[in-house]
Structure 1
Amino acid sequence: MADATLTISSRNYSSWSLRGWLVCRMAGLDFDVELLSGKESSTRAELLHLSPSFLVPRLTHGDIVVWDVLAIAEYLNEIRSGAGLLPESAAERARCRAVSSEMHGGFINLRSAMPMNLRAQIPGFPIFNGAKGDIDRILAIVEDCLSRSGGPYLFGARPTLADAMYAPVCTRFRTYDVPLPFTAETYRDTILAWDLMAEWTQEAVAEPDEIEELDMEF
């Protein structure tokens, strides 16, 4: 039996579950996954409200229970500081936390207009002004981070918390056929080719679709 349990909702639809799972895997934590039923009202609330502060994902590690992706990441950084969830230098750790927090609390127009859906492919999806502003800001963050670090990940040669936070956006760029400049396109492809993302996506594609009318309610 694993040392910990990560409670998640939909692999296909829940960007917060993906982020929580990624940071746990990146930290090398031994954990089981508890998948909530899509028919439960609490799961629908987490997905439809697009809330980063809902109680899923939730990590149970012995007697410790922690929820919210950033809180989970900070807890894992404390107990597994050598895992590299944050960059080595203080300045880069601060920047990593800042861009991760910006994703955690912002980009509401993008979330609402372009929900995560790993099974969907929508060529020519119309991008309206609100979502476009969010995309422009994300592209600026990606460009700035990669120009500083040299890539291929936001803070250098290996993924950090920031990449886990921005990974669901990379899936949205693919799902909704978002035109990207070369640097962002290369970063998107790097994230989508990441072995952890490939593993998650394979399970998401096979997930039973229990959440009826989800696309319409978004």
Structure 2
Amino acid sequence: MTMAEGATMANTDYIIVIGDKNYSSWSLRPWLALKHCGVPFTEERIRLRQPDSKAEILRNSPSGKVPVLKTKAGLVWDSLAIFEYLAEQHPEAGLWPSDQEARAAARSISAEMHAGFVTLRNDMPMDLLSRLPAPPLSPALEADIARVVAIWTEARHRAADRGPFLFGAFSNADAMYAPVATRFRTYGVDLGPFGDDGSAAAYVDTIFAMPAMAEWTRGAEAEMRARAGT
């Protein structure tokens, strides 16, 4: 585990405990939301897939999973709970759309991503820096990809005149789906056969064009170099 030297809850608003930036899709989600809030925070990074990873995570997170957000009021774990906490604490950041109908839709598709898409997760795990062949497209995987494309396409059509994100401006829904964009790029998935009219592919480009996404990617590269001893 690494942590910025001297970081404590006395000199930063938040500490977020995350896993490897190359692999941890759940860690990426609230990290992007924190970046959008523009508030001071510090990372504690736990290397995954190591003999002591589980013990290190349990020292920080009661659920035994990352991410977990350390706040001056206590711990918040689970990405969706962190989204809600940050939206409550920083309403000025607009982490949920201001329009009631759009806000309900954003919460709904975020919850759908949180609870579903098991085949997509298992067959196409996040591996941000790699470019890998697509796995065999089982009916379940095809259904998951087609559903993501449908969600993105519908949202983008509705918000086309308000900005490039799912609901125009960046929201928690974009943070929730950002790791899926990385998967599609990692595995070279052509979204056209899944009903994309160009909106979903453009949305992938939007995610990767975010300065925060570029910063996360640089962090993943630095971690991989450190592990390789270069």
Counterpart-to-counterpart distance in 2, 1:41 and 1:60: 19
Query: Match of 1:170?
Result: 181
Letter in 1 for 2:54: S
| Match in the other structure for 1:50 | none
- Counterpart of 1:166, as a letter, is Y
Please tell me the residue identity of whatever aligns with 2:185.
Answer: R
Unaligned runs of at least 5 residues, structure 1: 47-52, 212-218
Residue 200 (structure 2) pairs with residue 184 (structure 1): yes
Query: Comparing 176-185 with 32-41, which one deviates more in the overlay?
Result: 32-41
- Structure 1 residue 8 corresponds to structure 2 residue 24: no
Query: Aligned pair 1:154/2:166, yes or no?
Result: yes
Tell me the SS of whatever aligns to 1:117: coil
SS in 2 for 1:207: helix
| RMSD after superposition | 2.2
- Unpaired segments ≥5 residues, structure 2: 1-10
- 2: CA distance between counterparts of 1:56 and 1:167? 17
Q: Find 2:77's aligned residue among 48, 67, 77.
A: 67
Q: Tell me the TM-score normalised to structure 2 length.
A: 0.83
Contact 1:36–1:43 (Cα < 8 Å) also in 2 = no
Q: What aligned pairs does 1:59-98 form with structure 2 within 5 A after superposition?
A: 59-98=69-108
Q: Deviations over 1:120-157 (max 9, x none)?
A: 1024553322211100000000011011111410001x
Shift of 1:184: 0.8
**Counterparts of 1:210 and 1:114, CA distance in 2:** 25
2:221 maps to what in 1?
205
**Equivalent residues, number:** 204
Partner of 2:34: 24
Query: Offset of 1:174 from its aligned partner?
Result: 0.3
Q: Give distance in 1, aligned partners of 2:122 and 2:67.
A: 19
CA contact (8 A) 1:109 1:131 kept: yes
Letter of the structure 1 residue corresponding to residue 183 of structure 2:
R
What's the CA shift string for 1:47-92, capped at 9, x where partnerless? xxxxxx7531111111321011111111111110010100011111
> CA, structure 1 residues 109+124, in 2 after alignment: closer, same or farther (shift >3 Å)?
closer
Q: How far 1:198 moved relative to its partner? A: 0.7
Query: In the aligned structure 2, how far is the partner of 1:59 from the partner of 1:135?
Result: 30
- 1:210: Cα distance to partner? 9.6
Q: Is 1:131 matched up with 2:141?
A: yes
